[in-house]
C-alpha cells in the first residue's frame, strides 16, 4: 500500500474547499462557530467599524477607539456581554448607544475571541 503524503491531503482538501465555495477557514474553526464569527464580524462592521478597527491589522479610524484585536489584552471580552445587552453608553459623542439581542451578543463575542 502506498503512503499518502500529508501535502497531497492538504492540497486535495484545499481544492475541495475552493470548489465548494466555502467562506470559512478550512481548519481550526467548527462550521457553526465559523458562522457565528462571520455574523459577529458583520455586526462589528455595521455598528463599530466607523470608529474601531475590526480587522487583524490597521489603525482605528478614531484614534481614541481601541482596535478590536487588542480588547482581549485589556480585559476578557466575555465581560462585554452584559453591556452589549443593556446598551453600551460612553462619554464620547461619536459612539452610538445600541443594544444587541442574546444571539447577536454571542456572535459578536465569538468574533472578538477570534481576534485573540
CA distance 78 to 87: 15
Domain ranges of the chain: 29-114
What confidence tens digit (pLDDT) does each residue in 55-83 have? 999 999 999 889 999 999 988 988 888 88
Q: What residue has cell string 443594544? A: 99
**pLDDT tens figures, 80-102:** 888 888 877 664 567 777 788 99
* 55 φψ region: left (φ > 0), alpha (ψ -120 to 50), beta (else): beta
- Domain 29-114 class? mainly alpha
d(CA 14, CA 115): 23
Whole-model pTM over 0.85: no
Amino acid at each position: 500500500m502506498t503512503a499518502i503524503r500529508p501535502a497531497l491531503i492538504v492540497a486535495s482538501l484545499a481544492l475541495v474547499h475552493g470548489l465548494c465555495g466555502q467562506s470559512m477557514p478550512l481548519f481550526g474553526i467548527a462550521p457553526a462557530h465559523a458562522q457565528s464569527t462571520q455574523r459577529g464580524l458583520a455586526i462589528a462592521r455595521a455598528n463599530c467599524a466607523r470608529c474601531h478597527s475590526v480587522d487583524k491589522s490597521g489603525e482605528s479610524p478614531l484614534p481614541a477607539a481601541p482596535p478590536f484585536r487588542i480588547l482581549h489584552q485589556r480585559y476578557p471580552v466575555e465581560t462585554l456581554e452584559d453591556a452589549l445587552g443593556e446598551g453600551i453608553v460612553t462619554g464620547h459623542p461619536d459612539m452610538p448607544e445600541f443594544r444587541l439581542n442574546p444571539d447577536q451578543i454571542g456572535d459578536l463575542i465569538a468574533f472578538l475571541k477570534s481576534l485573540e
